[in-house]
Structure 1
Amino acid sequence: MIVHTLRFAFKDGATEEEKEHVLAVMRRTAAVDSVVFSSVGQNLDPSDGFTHAYCVGIEDMAALRRYMHDPVHLAGDPQIIPHLARLAIGPDMSDDPAPDLAARIGALHEEKVAMYPQWAAELTPLLTGV
């Protein structure tokens, strides 16, 4: 199982309606077939400035590939990204003991970056190394 998390904060001035829309889009993404379990909502430790969090459980690498390229996921990101001020990917975790798992996941991410450069250009400025 691969557990993928995001922590994020909305832009100043984001309305409650915009925030609810973003969370609804995230919940729709978290409900695609390749996801085993999910949670989307408030970050319970906002001391790092991230007010909300997203977590999905994905069975294996094949499911992760399907999740990353799912049409619902691809359609959701353009509705989410414009409303975020900051985003932290992870910490992620897995019960798979393969020593190269993180590298294989990273390679999938780089593959997606190469396939969707506009997505990467919009996402990169939000990323933070917390």
Structure 2
Amino acid sequence: MIVNILRFAFRPGTTKERQSEVLAAMRRTASVESAEYGTVGRDLGDPAEGFSHAYCVGVADLDALERYLYDPVHLAGDDDILPYVTRLSAVRFTDDPDPAVGAGMAALVQAKLAAYPEWARQLDEAARR
């Protein structure tokens, strides 16, 4: 299993209605065929860290990760999500003992970043806000 956890906050000025729409887009993304499980909700960590919410999705393997990254629901959701989040921080881990999984995951993400430069820009901006 490959697990991706994203902690984030909403950008200042993001209305409660827009926040609900963003969370709904995340729930749709977390429920695509390639996801084994997914959830989104309030971050229960230390508020001083600046995170208000978290997103978690698990995919079975690298093949599922590739399908997840390019799923039309995921691709469409990015434009509904990334402009409204800030302090985006990722934790990724696996229970797969194969040492090549990390490099395979990184290669898939790099390929998507190269194929979708606007996505890359939005991710970078969200992480730096």
Q: TM-score, normalised by structure 1?
A: 0.93
Counterpart CA distance in 1 for 2:2 and 2:86 is: 26
Which residue identity is paired with 2:115?
A: M
Gaps of 5+ in 1: none
Q: Superposition RMSD on alpha carbons, in Å?
A: 1.0
* Alpha-carbon shift at residue 80 of structure 1 (Å): 0.5
Q: Percent of counterpart pairs with the same letter? A: 50
Counterpart CA distance in 1 for 2:100 and 2:60 is: 17
* Alpha-carbon shift at residue 47 of structure 1 (Å): 3.4
Counterpart CA distance in 1 for 2:115 and 2:76 is: 15
SS of equivalent residue, structure 1 residue 89: strand
SS of equivalent residue, structure 2 residue 108: helix
SS of equivalent residue, structure 1 residue 124: helix
Verify the 8 A CA contact 2:86 2:127 in the aligned structure 1: no
Counterpart CA distance in 2 for 1:125 and 1:102 is: 24
Counterpart CA distance in 2 for 1:85 and 1:64 is: 24
Per the alignment, residue 18 of structure 1 pairs with: 18
Per the alignment, residue 107 of structure 2 pairs with: 107
SS of equivalent residue, structure 1 residue 7: strand
Per the alignment, residue 77 of structure 1 pairs with: 78
* Alpha-carbon shift at residue 103 of structure 1 (Å): 1.4
SS of equivalent residue, structure 1 residue 12: coil
1:61 paired to 2:62: yes
Number of residues paired by the alignment? Answer: 127
* Alpha-carbon shift at residue 87 of structure 1 (Å): 0.4
Counterpart CA distance in 2 for 1:94 and 1:39 is: 17
Per the alignment, residue 6 of structure 1 pairs with: 6
Verify the 8 A CA contact 1:89 1:127 in the aligned structure 2: no
- Deviating 4+ runs (over 4 angstroms): none
Counterpart CA distance in 2 for 1:99 and 1:122 is: 30
Q: Tell me which moved more, 49-58 or 118-127.
A: 118-127
Gaps of 5+ in 2: none
Per-residue CA deviation, residues 31-82 of structure 1 (Å, 9 max, x unaligned), is 1000111110001103311110000110110000000000000000001111
